Structure 1
Amino acid sequence: MVETREVFHRINIKRKEYFNELLDVYDLTFMELEILAFLDGEPDSNTFTQIMKAKDYAKSHVSTAINHLANCGYLEKIGASTNKKVYRLHLLEKSAPVLQGYYLCVQAFQTQAFAGITDADLQLFNQVIHQINQNLR
């Protein structure tokens, strides 16, 4: 049987390679890029804690990434009215070209990763991944 952990690890390493040029152009880390994409896709999950939990990142790394993104003008931190220790994170216009590049990289990765796979096999793959996700909830 295929060692699933090793396969997922190799896929993830290859996936990250698709973003290297984008990261160099904007002087970002992969985590910072994923935080921007997360906020773009989940605008209501916009607190430090929500990002940390959803992405399973270490607290110190998320804090460093958010501060860098704010200092670079990609997002703003707005204090919540009910709790001054909680900040809502909102993307700024400067993040738009970064996100556009991100989605192009995702598309390029998916095109390469799924090349030669039939629609029926892709549908089965999605069903299996969905079932695994349900099993782990």
Structure 2
Amino acid sequence: MHFWDRHKTITGYYESLTRSVCGKYDLTQMEYDILMFLYSNPEFNTAADIVKIRKSTKSHVSTSLKSLENKGLIEKKQNESNKKHIELFVTESAKSIIYEGIETQKRFAHDVLKGFSDEEITTFKNIFEKICNNAEDCLNNK
């Protein structure tokens, strides 16, 4: 299996689809990815969540969040119960980007899962989840 080589084909195709959205709205790939992550995972709305879950570096996340905030696409709010806890929220200004991003993600899923039955897709999702959990366990036990 050449997964470690071939997975770049999958991410490369995804990034080629998102390039038009990024270009249209003057976003880097990281900014786009963070915006879509915050929209899709509102329960993980801190910089630390993004770093932990997306396995991104603190400096890249920090730089991207500052840029997104300067563009008015996200806003930071201090948590009422914990003043040190800064939460991130997608603004109304980002809605058109989010909409186009969702359509792009749907196209990506449609294209890469073409020819798979619903049962095969379910099996794939389950296997992929197990692979990710195994890798996460290995990283945590390093």
Structure 1, unaligned runs of 5 or more: none
In 1, Cα distance between equivalents of 2:129 and 2:34: 23
Quote the offset at 1:119 in angstroms: 2.6
Asked if 1:107 is matched to 2:106, the reply is yes
In 1, Cα distance between equivalents of 2:126 and 2:115: 18
For residues 1-137 of structure 1, the aligned pairs below 5 Å read: 2-81=1-80, 82-84=82-84, 86-136=85-135, 137=137
Structure 2, unaligned runs of 5 or more: 138-142
Instruction: List structure 1 runs of 4+ shifted beyond 4 angstroms.
Output: none
Quote the offset at 1:123 in angstroms: 2.6
Under a length normalisation based on structure 1, what TM-score does the superposition of the two structures give? 0.89
In 1, Cα distance between equivalents of 2:103 and 2:91: 19
- Say which is worse superposed, 11-20 or 126-135, in terms of deviation: 126-135
In 2, Cα distance between equivalents of 1:89 and 1:123: 32
Under a length normalisation based on structure 2, what TM-score does the superposition of the two structures give? 0.86
- Partner in structure 1 of residue 140 of structure 2: none
Once superposed, what is the RMSD of the aligned Cα atoms? 1.6
- Say which is worse superposed, 109-118 or 89-98, in terms of deviation: 109-118
Aligned residues: percent identity? 27
In 1, Cα distance between equivalents of 2:41 and 2:32: 14
Paired residue total? 135
In 1, Cα distance between equivalents of 2:102 and 2:71: 20
Secondary structure (helix, strand or coil) at the match of 2:88 reads: strand
Query: What is the CA deviation profile of residues 82-101 of structure 1, one whole-angstrom value per residue up to 9, with x for unaligned ones?
Result: 334x4211111001110001
